[in-house]
Structure 1
């Protein structure tokens, strides 16, 4: 793992065009990944609502991660596991690249669907 980080640092500091090319490839990869998340969860880049399957998956992983719940008497190991799970869920949501209004709409959609 550390070797990848060192290689990435070396690529960023190379004086020739290799660093630029590596950054371009990383940007293109990131763009493809974000588009995949958006297709999977929102039905596409312009998606304004979560797909039905996305709602099921997000509800499941959010429940497992304990989002919105405090762990009072948890051990250090349990807290670390919970925090790791929460980071994964928040990472997935961050890939939607949604502004605050869109996030509010998605939250409303989840809330309304749960109450049905």
Structure 2
């Protein structure tokens, strides 16, 4: 299984506003993708990354990280598997969301390592 940089968020904003904020932050409009369950899934492809936003996830609290309290999941995948660039992209996206306000969350790598918090 591949390891990615992921942002887990909570907010009082409606999910469509979260999608707008993420789209603006990455400079590409996120498009709705079919999902096999009740989770809303949106995806955008930039020059170097795939950004996926899910309205919920099933991760349980683990490694001292309270995933269950942060229902929105943003996965950043670098198209060339460049983990340094992937982390930089995720940190930049998280910083924009922090500056927008109304978000609390964590940036993690491989669902095990906490890297940053807003």
Taking structure 1 as the reference length, the TM-score comes to 0.28
Indicate the structure whose relative CO is greater, using CA pairs within 8 Å and at least 6 residues apart: 2
More helix per residue: 1
| Greater C-alpha Rg | 1
More strand per residue: 2
Taking structure 2 as the reference length, the TM-score comes to 0.27
